Structure 1
Amino acid sequence: MPSPIPITRLLPNQSLDLGTCSSPLAKYSFGNTLQVPAQRPHGKVASRLWSTVIHWKELRSVEPVGSGGFGSVYKAEYLGDTVALKRVKKCTKNKLASRQSFWAELNAAHLRQGNIVRVIAATTCVPVDFGDESSIGTIVMEFVGNRNLQQIIYGCAEPLGEDRWLRYSADIARGLRFLHSHGVVHLDIKPANVLVSSEDVCKICDFGCSVKLDYGCEESAISPHVSHVGGTYTHRAPELLKGEGLSPKADIFSFGITLWQLITREQPYTGDRQHVLYAVVAHNLRPSVQDQPVFGTERGRLCRTLLGRCWSGDGRCRPSAQELVPRLEQLRSNV
């Protein structure tokens, strides 16, 4: 089953001073994944484990970067490092969904891998001088940069050659392989949720739709209490559109759409949203690989075959992330 949202976790915001704030997160057991400092830490924030304490007085130069449906993101200095600060807000139309989004963001908080954005700290305690009544909690993460794949694909004129998009896609696949090996399904893989660092490395971010499968469980029914499951409709796997069980293979479908976008630099679908949703399920609609010169080369034909497997309507026919990584690395080695 997906990771439950215990009613005891749906905690109200608390008004505290600007000193060290110990989060209600610390009251719950997450195995050995938490690090709760007994005193104010010194030096860098590069810690192996994430913390349930944010030292608010150590935040400097907080400036807005962007905002979305469930929160706002800021760039800041924290304990000597540049970090990203995400404040999750209550959604007035669906308060439960916004709370679920906050807790889902922490499904991968204990994981460390180069293609996943690292969580440094998270808390539901937000000081009055920093937050407001609409805030559910705050997450401190590594600052990757200001660019994401959506901007690179559609918003700039710089070349996106074969070597580059193959490298990007292999980065995403490696991140998915690591997540899936730890039972985390992202459920919203798309270009906007892949950040690109100054070293040109892709890192998966925004886990607000993610679920944590039980140990040893390869598939799970969709819980009626997890109202935010599904992600972006253009990248959503058919089984999720039909309300069937979710598995890591849902991420592989989304990866296939993302890979097509990297290759073609075009939008996957046009037309009415409901028409697209219906056609994906009922008529096996997929982004076009016809009349695309890039798919005419030998490597292009191999990519076309790989895309067909990734976005198969039957999740069992899709490759795992474990299979994807060597396949993409092999394609890249032939560039």
Structure 2
Amino acid sequence: MPSPIPVTRLLPKDLYPSVDIGTCSSPLAHHGATLQVPVQRLHGKVASRLWSSVIRWKELRSIQPVGSGGFGSVYKAEYFGETVALKKVKKCTKNRLASRQSFWAELNAAHLRHANIVRVIAATTCVPAEFGDESSIGTVLMEFVGSRNLQQIIDDQSEALGADRRLGYSADIAHGLHFLHSHLIVHLDIKPANVLVSSEDRCKIADFGSSVKLERGCEMSALSPRLSHVGGTYTHRPPELLKGEEVTPKADIFSFGITLWQLITREQPYTGDRQHVLYAVVAHNLRPCVRTHPVFQSEQGRRLTALLTRCWSGEGRCRPSARELLPHLEQLRAHT
């Protein structure tokens, strides 16, 4: 079936042509014509800012498992001599449409390049038998950022996580969100586990399987059939999406607020039954604890409390934009 993501959202029109092209092995189609995109090579050998619909399987070496979850499995590998991450997106037998949409959502930011966004190299739904996996709907090849995510750093009590470091991480995420939102992309699953940390201690936003590409001037309901793949994590999900209301970039700001709270406290935002939490977030304005938490009793803690309160406001219009977050985070960092 055709992809729910229009071709024009993936590549700028002036970048289609290339002397080195490969037929798209995915179901991306436009008016019956098959999309063709330049083959991605590393180090800019062809065009470093384009992703490819062709994976040169013979160039993959040393494939090693890194982790797995509900989304599928991730492997570390060598591709054209460089270390990359290979992600096999899992096929959901209960909801195949959502599975397909989730795979294509992974490519919403594939044509973009930013220091705080994980770069997509190639993606395909056609896999040779020797690399095949019947439970997989497609494969995405990405830059290898590292083996750690922000949740692992938060959970590792031996890892120093002082004010300067956590605010630096927060600024990285805000920079990435500002870039995504400026291109009308909403991630919809911002949380520590979806933020990878590089060997240079830089954060990069990953896992776009719940993301959506908005159309300028158009509203989109979270209950729209086009968004049947939208999931996200309930502990970080804003109340307007729990109620099925309009999707806007401010949804990511709410999730950012919960993530920042976790960076500060190194705790889980909620305890108790999932359905109780969901109901309380919407009906009773439930938020993670700041009032009695000792971390928030200092002067900087009070400034952080004010920022968090704005980020997780029940009204999206009352939340700051990602761009507005940046000077606040820099000011807080200057006073550490």
Q: What's the TM-score once normalised by structure 2's chain length?
A: 0.88
Aligned to 2:174: 173
Unpaired runs of at least 5, structure 2: 7-20
**Residues 1:260 and 1:42: Cα distance change in structure 2 (over 3 Å):** closer
| Maintained 8 Å contact 1:168/1:201 | yes
**Residues 1:256 and 1:294: Cα distance change in structure 2 (over 3 Å):** same
Unpaired runs of at least 5, structure 1: 7-19
Aligned to 1:259: 260
How far apart, CA to CA, are the structure 1 residues paired with 2:175 and 2:278?
A: 29
How far apart, CA to CA, are the structure 1 residues paired with 2:230 and 2:37?
A: 29
How far apart, CA to CA, are the structure 2 residues paired with 1:156 and 1:57?
A: 42
Q: After TM superposition, give the deviation of residue 118 of structure 1 in Å.
A: 0.3
Aligned to 1:330: 331
How far apart, CA to CA, are the structure 1 residues paired with 2:27 and 2:241?
A: 33
How far apart, CA to CA, are the structure 1 residues paired with 2:148 and 2:28?
A: 36
Q: After TM superposition, give the deviation of residue 41 of structure 1 in Å.
A: 5.5
How far apart, CA to CA, are the structure 2 residues paired with 1:129 and 1:21?
A: 21
How far apart, CA to CA, are the structure 1 residues paired with 2:253 and 2:326?
A: 12
Aligned to 1:9: none
Aligned to 1:210: 211
Q: What's the TM-score once normalised by structure 1's chain length?
A: 0.89
Instruction: Provide the secondary structure at the position in 1 that maps to 2:285.
Output: coil
Instruction: Provide the secondary structure at the position in 2 that maps to 1:73.
Output: strand
**Residues 1:301 and 1:22: Cα distance change in structure 2 (over 3 Å):** same
If asked which structure has higher relative contact order (CA below 8 Å, sep 6+), I would say 1
- Cα RMSD of the aligned pairs, angstroms, is 2.1
- Find out whether 1:36 has 2:28 as its counterpart: no
**Residues 1:131 and 1:21: Cα distance change in structure 2 (over 3 Å):** farther
How far apart, CA to CA, are the structure 2 residues paired with 1:111 and 1:216?
A: 21
Aligned to 1:148: 149
- State the AA in 1 paired with 2:286: L
How far apart, CA to CA, are the structure 2 residues paired with 1:134 and 1:44?
A: 33
How far apart, CA to CA, are the structure 1 residues paired with 2:115 and 2:195?
A: 13
- State the AA in 2 paired with 1:110: H
How far apart, CA to CA, are the structure 2 residues paired with 1:221 and 1:66?
A: 33
1:295-314 equivalence runs, <5 A: 295-314=296-315
| Maintained 8 Å contact 2:4/2:101 | no
| Maintained 8 Å contact 2:42/2:48 | no
Aligned to 1:190: 191
Q: After TM superposition, give the deviation of residue 97 of structure 1 in Å.
A: 1.3
Identity of aligned residues (%): 74
| Maintained 8 Å contact 2:190/2:255 | yes
**Residues 1:188 and 1:99: Cα distance change in structure 2 (over 3 Å):** same
- State the AA in 2 paired with 1:316: R
Q: After TM superposition, give the deviation of residue 215 of structure 1 in Å.
A: 2.8
Q: After TM superposition, give the deviation of residue 119 of structure 1 in Å.
A: 0.3
Aligned to 1:285: 286
| Maintained 8 Å contact 1:72/1:87 | yes
